[in-house]
Amino acid sequence: MLSSLFSLRTLDLSDNNIHDSIPYQLPPNLTSLNLASNNLSGNLPYSISSMVSLNYLNLSHNSIFQSIGDIFANLQGLSILDLSFNNFSGDLPNSFGSLSNLSTLYLQSNQLTGSVNILADLPLDNLNIANNHFTGWVPREFSSIPNFIYDGNSFENGPAPPPPPYTPPPPGRSHNNRNHSGPGTHTPQGSDGQASHDNENDKKGLATGALVGIVLGSTLVALCVVIVFILCLKRGKKERGSSAAPSSGTPVGTDGVISTELQEQKFRSMAVATDLKPPPAEKVMAERAYGKNGSISRAKSPITATSYTVASLQMATNSFSQEYLIGEGSLGRVYRAEFPNGKVLAVKKIDSAALSLQEEDNFLEAVSNMSRLRHQNITSLVGYCTEHGQRLLVYEYIGNGTLHDMLHFSDDGSKRLTWNARVKIALGTARALEYLHEVCLPSVVHRNFKSANILLDEELNPHLSDCGLAALTPNTERQVSTQMVGSFGYSAPEFALSGIYTVKSDVYSFGVVMLELLTGRKPLDSSRVRSEQSLVRWATPQLHDIDALAKMVDPALNGMYPAKSLSRFADIIALCVQPEPEFRPPMSEVVQALVRLMQRASVVKRRSSDDSSFIHKLPDYEAVEMSF
């Protein structure tokens, strides 16, 4: 484990051909880490946040995507940070503001968005933020940076607007306000006598105000006298008329006003009493949540999930410690949570830098929608937490790992994935997508369908995770960069061209996962020869070639698969990965095709000799009926 290398201070693995993601665990006492110019992907590991001695960090010229992550709060010693030429997206993390000794920051050629104001107070000598999607104004403080490059963004023209002028508090407010000068403050006076000039204006303003107040006061007194006189006349008339008329029980005049006020007070007290009643534990209506911008959002539907406190989740995850970390995703890290009653759940701690203002305000609405997803092949959302500005999601815990890990990182796991199990996994995930696309109204587009989001239980039943999380990913309703949704190798071609993502894009990603199940290969693998690095590009022309198809099968199957079942499996893949989305089948048709495949399938031990027939069963073959 790299995390056990406590004495290692400098680690330089730059200019190699290292692929896959950066390891979760890194040497904790590094002062210099250089992983530049590789083929690294994924996102930044959380272990960087505990490398307090780090002075130099270079991850440039890789394919790291998703948001940068709010992991820099404890890295005050960092002086050089180079994240350039990657595919980072989202806003800059707030923890950038803690880098008090940062002198060089390179962020050029990424997909970063939002404002750069968080960098305004850093002691930078070199800053390159070119070729991103930053917006707003360039802070005035940047003019003092000796080497500053910012072209290729969407900054506003002209200087930044000045701060809003001071507005005095309304009359009647306490003078113990923080905006007023206290006994320990001092007002500087310039050489031009500006302070004394302001005092003269204040005196003139007071004199004018006093005059206006006298005039208004006199007018109000006169009006009150007239009104009292008129009321007295009316009352005298009513008293004279009341001697001939019986008294009424209905209050009138000023008494009616008093009665109405009492009634309103009664209703208000009832409302207060009603508000004191606690909401039910299992079904909480999302009343309000305050976002970063102070706005209030309301969930339109009830949240059928438990509301957890931050304290309870901290206890269950040992304060979100590294030893409880089980994964990292596009929105944050996932931790194993062990509760006092023995229950084990998974907690996704959403990175605040991954949410824009609007998306954070809509968090409860997204939770409400996700909590109502109910399918045996979908990971259930069982709880959430919004305390103290945190955004946490609590899921059922599936403890057998992901399909991605079992296919690509576990020799024993890939051997466990028999042909029967692979068809079973394909059918289960197909049913999950069918539910999202065709049962839910409106349809739910997953947008990040991949083998790493398919969790397997002990019986190898698939459970699709991250369903409904697309509502929290940046720019859900508009065109976005190709790195923001899904992963390299899974995204449909129309998404790369136009930024449009639909249910048919999910169908394409499902076809890619089926190719993984068939071949045991990754969607993108830079370690292979160039013509075989893209799984779809390499495999698609061979899906209808019987001989070529036999050579494509995952060697871990050891020839244990039925010939006709393999051919039909390949036919389904060919339909799903068609370049034109309109020609891809709906998931209900894919489910039907896989069900028919399972009903006809039998496991056949294939001979390894070149002259053996792929289509026909030979007498020496052993046939076993599939059972699920």
Could you report the per-residue pLDDT of 181-215, keeping only the tens digit for each?
A: 333 333 334 334 443 444 444 444 444 555 556 66
Whole-number Å distance between alpha carbons of 524 and 20: 10
Whole-number Å distance between alpha carbons of 475 and 480: 6
Domain ranges for the chain, please list them.
2-149, 279-397, 401-628
Whole-number Å distance between alpha carbons of 290 and 403: 38
Query: How far is Cα of residue 255 from the mean position of the Cα atoms in its chain?
Result: 58
Q: For residue 218, what pLDDT band results from cuts at 50, 70 and 90?
A: confident
Amino acid (1-letter code) at residue 6: F
Neighbours of 188 (CB within 10 A): 6
Asked if the model's pLDDT at residue 404 lies above 80, the reply is yes
Q: Which residues contact 188 (CB under 8 A, 6 or more apart)?
A: 195
Token output for 558: 């050891």
The residue with greater pLDDT, 452 or 236, is 452
- State the residue for tokens 């790291």: 64
Whole-number Å distance between alpha carbons of 575 and 540: 10
The average pLDDT across 428-447 equals 94
Mean pLDDT lowest among 33-47, 62-76, 86-100, 605-619: 605-619
pLDDT value at position 272? 32
Most confident of 18-27, 88-97, 409-418: 88-97
Neighbours of 588 (CB within 10 A): 15
pLDDT value at position 492? 92
Asked if the model's pLDDT at residue 104 lies above 90, the reply is yes
The average pLDDT across 347-373 equals 78
Q: What is the dihedral of CA 465, 467, 473, 479, to 10 degrees?
A: 120
Which CATH superfamily does the domain covering 279-397 fall into? Phosphorylase Kinase; domain 1 (3.30.200.20)
Asked if the model's pLDDT at residue 362 lies above 60, the reply is yes
pLDDT value at position 116? 94
The residue with greater pLDDT, 498 or 255, is 498
The average pLDDT across 332-355 equals 89
Asked if the model's pLDDT at residue 283 lies above 50, the reply is no
Mean pLDDT lowest among 25-39, 371-385, 481-495: 481-495
| Nearest one of 263, 554, 314, 230 to 419, comparing CA atoms | 554
β-pairing verdict for 392-396 and 344-350: antiparallel
CA 66, 68, 71 angle in degrees (round to 5)?
Answer: 135
The average pLDDT across 72-100 equals 92
Whole-number Å distance between alpha carbons of 22 and 187: 55
Query: How far is Cα of residue 381 from the mean position of the Cα atoms in its chain?
Result: 15
pLDDT value at position 588? 95
pLDDT value at position 351? 81
Whole-number Å distance between alpha carbons of 119 and 99: 9
For 174, the enclosing helix (H) or strand (E) is: none
Could you report the per-residue pLDDT of 308-332, keeping only the tens digit for each?
A: 999 999 999 999 999 999 988 767 8
Architecture of domain 401-628: Orthogonal Bundle (1.10)
Mean pLDDT lowest among 118-127, 239-248, 296-305, 335-344: 239-248
Fold of 2-149: 3.80.10
pLDDT value at position 286? 42
What ranges make up the beta strands (E) of 220-373? Answer: 289-290, 296-297, 306-307, 325-328, 332-338, 344-350
The average pLDDT across 244-259 equals 38
460: left (phi over 0), alpha (psi -120 to 50) or beta: left
Q: Is the sign of the CA dihedral 15, 18, 24, 30 positive or negative?
A: negative
Cβ(480)–Cβ(491) below 8 Å: no
Could you report the per-residue pLDDT of 143-165, keeping only the tens digit for each?
A: 999 999 999 998 887 556 665 55
pLDDT value at position 298? 44
% of the chain beyond a pLDDT of 90: 47
- In the chain, helix, strand, coil percent, each to 5? 40, 15, 45
The average pLDDT across 366-373 equals 90
Token output for 107: 């962020």
Could you report the per-residue pLDDT of 581-624, keeping only the tens digit for each?
A: 999 999 999 999 999 988 776 444 444 434 333 333 323 333 33
Cβ(419)–Cβ(560) below 8 Å: yes
pLDDT value at position 183? 37
Q: For residue 252, what pLDDT band results from cuts at 50, 70 and 90?
A: very low
Whole-number Å distance between alpha carbons of 418 and 256: 83
The average pLDDT across 32-55 equals 88
Mean pLDDT lowest among 162-166, 428-432, 482-486, 545-549: 482-486
Could you report the per-residue pLDDT of 563-575, keeping only the tens digit for each?
A: 889 999 999 999 9
pLDDT value at position 249? 38
Q: How far is CA 388 from CA 295, 317, 338, 392, 523, in A?
A: 15, 17, 22, 11, 40
% of the chain beyond a pLDDT of 70: 69
| Nearest one of 499, 487, 497, 494 to 523, comparing CA atoms | 487
What's the mean pLDDT when you consider all of the chain? 77
Token output for 175: 């003078």
DSSP category for residue 290: E
pLDDT value at position 625? 33
For 156, the enclosing helix (H) or strand (E) is: none
Amino acid (1-letter code) at residue 165: P
Mean pLDDT lowest among 32-46, 97-111, 264-278, 290-304: 264-278
pTM attached to this predicted model: 0.55
| Nearest one of 615, 603, 606 to 419, comparing CA atoms | 603
Q: How far is CA 258 from CA 40, 161, 234, 251, 253, in A?
A: 75, 52, 19, 9, 9
3-state class (DSSP) for residue 407: helix
Whole-number Å distance between alpha carbons of 517 and 314: 37
Residue 442: asked if its preceding bond is cis (omega within 30°), the reply is yes
Q: What is the dihedral of CA 32, 37, 38, 43, to 10 degrees?
A: 70
Most confident of 286-290, 365-369, 609-613: 365-369
